[in-house]
């Protein structure tokens, strides 16, 4: 998987990664760039994005940064327009998300609205803008990231009502993309990791021992993007511990 010597479908192609300023998104951007993709990095923190782009450049890869709030339609549209300046948009990885822990009775309308705005509407906006660009290109591969928290009949934890609902939505969004993407050569796969060692997990549940690293998840995303996914498009793939 991604040994660096195989020909990667991504080599020379343009890939947008959201949530690329840290954690899973940053690791994914680095993995895609190492596979030869021309990566466009999006998140709100421009200097953190520049640091990731710098690491990619130091490793011999190509990366550009477009500071973006994925909950803002105009910023997302601009992100895709900027990405297309590098060439046809081939791939999108939606890793941007927030998690504000709050017990259900204490979940304010503001927490609920922000969580849905970033995690679900943000994914919708990015996929919608990318879908149009990929239709122009005649092909495209989309990876969305939900969570085991969004998968039916897996263990749930208190304080995550808004987050979990947003992730259930991302899984449904991916199925819808697959249905309408088929005739345009666009596939969409969702991955649903368990606990990954990132800032999000450390803040949300410091006692939970992560079974996955951001690099583990990035390797799965790279392998999926390297594959012709059409027959599996719409699937949601749970990722369990690597330990
Ligand atoms: N860690 C886990 O255990 C775990 C498990 C399952 C699924 N996931 C999912 O994996 C993905 C990555 O999470 P992570 O663990 O790597 O979290 P993280 O370290 O907290 O990173 C979250 C990323 O999202 C970006 N982001 C947040 N709000 C944004 C906004 N409005 N617009 C644009 N970017 C925004 C952040 O950048 P800025 O702050 O610079 O905007 C950051 O780059 C998320 O979808 C998360 O739900 C994580």
How much is the pLDDT for 230? 87
Q: How far is the CA of 183 from the centre of ligand 1 (A)?
A: 31
37 or 6: which carries more pLDDT confidence? 37
Q: pLDDT tens digits for 165-216?
A: 999 999 999 999 999 999 999 999 999 999 999 999 999 988 889 999 999 9
Which amino acids bring their CB within 6 angstroms of ligand 1? 18-19, 21-25, 43-45, 48, 68-71, 95-98, 118, 122, 145, 147, 193, 195-196, 198-201
pLDDT score recorded for residue 228: 85
Residue 5 forms part of a structural domain = no
In a domain, 1, yes or no: no
Which of 200, 206, 215, when mutated, tests ligand 1's pocket best, judged by the most ligand atoms within 8 Å of its CB? 200
CATH of the domain at 63: 3.40.50.720
The verdict on residue 221 lying in a domain is yes
Q: How far is the CA of 91 from the centre of ligand 1 (A)?
A: 18
Burial class (CB in 10 A: 0-12, 13-18, 19+), 95: buried
Give the orientation angle of helix 122-137 with respect to helix 73-84, to 10 degrees: 30
Please choose from 70, 77, 97 the residue to mutate so as to test ligand 1's pocket, defined by most ligand atoms within 8 A of CB: 97
Q: State the Cα–Cα distance between residues 77 and 42, nearest whole angstrom.
A: 12
Q: How many separate helices (H) and strands (E) can be counted in the chain?
A: 8, 7
Reply yes or no on whether the pLDDT at 224 is more than 50: yes
Tell me, yes or no, whether 181 lies in a domain.
yes
Lowest mean pLDDT among 1-10, 63-72, 93-102, 232-241: 1-10
Alpha helices in the chain (DSSP H): 23-34, 46-58, 73-84, 109-115, 122-137, 161-181, 199-204, 214-225
Question: Tell me: the pLDDT tens digits for 78-112?
Answer: 999 999 999 999 999 999 999 999 999 999 999 99
What is the C-alpha separation between 46 and 150, in angstroms, rounded? 29
46 belongs to a structural domain: yes
Whole-number pLDDT of residue 208: 86
Question: What pLDDT score was predicted for residue 6?
Answer: 66
Least confident of 8-12, 68-72, 151-155, 239-243: 239-243
Rounded to an integer, the average pLDDT of 3-31 is 91
Whole-prediction pTM: 0.97
Q: Residue 219: which domain range? A: 14-239
Return the pLDDT at 2: 42
Q: Give the pLDDT mean for 15-31.
A: 98
Percent of the chain with pLDDT over 70: 97
Does a structural domain hold residue 89?
Answer: yes
Tell which one of 16, 17, 19, 162 to mutate to probe ligand 1, the residue whose CB is within 8 A of the most ligand atoms. Answer: 19
Atom of ligand 1 at shortest distance to CA of 200? 20
Give pLDDT tens digits for 117-171. Answer: 999 999 999 999 999 999 999 999 999 999 999 999 999 999 999 999 999 999 9
Neighbours of 91 (CB within 10 A): 24
Of all atoms in ligand 1, which is nearest to the CA of residue 217?
Answer: 10
Q: Could you tell me if residue 71 is inside a domain?
A: yes
Residue 4 lies in a domain: no
Inform me whether the pLDDT recorded for 5 exceeds 60. no
If one counts the domains in the chain, the total is 1
Sheet harboring 236-239: ordered strands across?
Answer: 62-65, 38-42, 14-18, 89-94, 140-145, 186-193, 236-239
Query: What percent of the residues of the chain are helix, what percent strand, and what percent coil, each to the nearest 5?
Result: 50, 15, 35
**pLDDT range class, residue 243, cuts 50, 70, 90:** low
Query: Could you say which DSSP state residue 143 is in?
Result: E
Among the residue ranges 36-45, 199-208, 231-240, the one predicted with the least confidence is 199-208
């Amino acid at each position: 998987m991604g040994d660096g010597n195989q020909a990667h479908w991504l080599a020379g192609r343009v890939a947008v990664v959201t949530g690329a300023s840290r954690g899973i998104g940053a690791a994914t951007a680095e993995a895609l760039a190492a596979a030869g993709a021309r990566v466009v990095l999006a998140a709100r923190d421009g200097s953190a994005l520049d640091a990731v782009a710098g690491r990619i450049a130091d490793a011999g890869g190509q990366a550009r940064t477009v500071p973006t709030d994925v909950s803002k339609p105009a910023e997302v549209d601009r992100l895709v327009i900027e990405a297309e300046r590098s060439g046809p948009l081939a791939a999108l990885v939606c890793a941007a998300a927030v998690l504000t822990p709050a017990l259900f009775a204490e979940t304010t309308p503001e927490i609920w609205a922000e969580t849905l705005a970033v995690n679900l509407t943000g994914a919708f906006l990015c996929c919608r803008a990318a879908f149009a660009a990929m239709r122009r290109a005649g092909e495209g591969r989309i990876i969305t990231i939900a969570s085991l928290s969004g998968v039916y009949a897996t263990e749930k934890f208190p304080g995550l009502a808004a987050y979990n609902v947003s992730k259930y939505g991302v899984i449904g969004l991916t199925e819808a993309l697959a249905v309408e993407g088929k005739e345009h050569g666009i596939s969409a796969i969702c991955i649903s990791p368990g606990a990954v060692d990132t800032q999000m997990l450390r803040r949300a549940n410091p006692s939970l021992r992560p079974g996955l690293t951001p690099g583990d998840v990035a390797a799965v995303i790279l392998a999926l993007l390297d594959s012709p996914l059409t027959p599996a498009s719409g699937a949601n793939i749970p990722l369990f511990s690597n330990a």
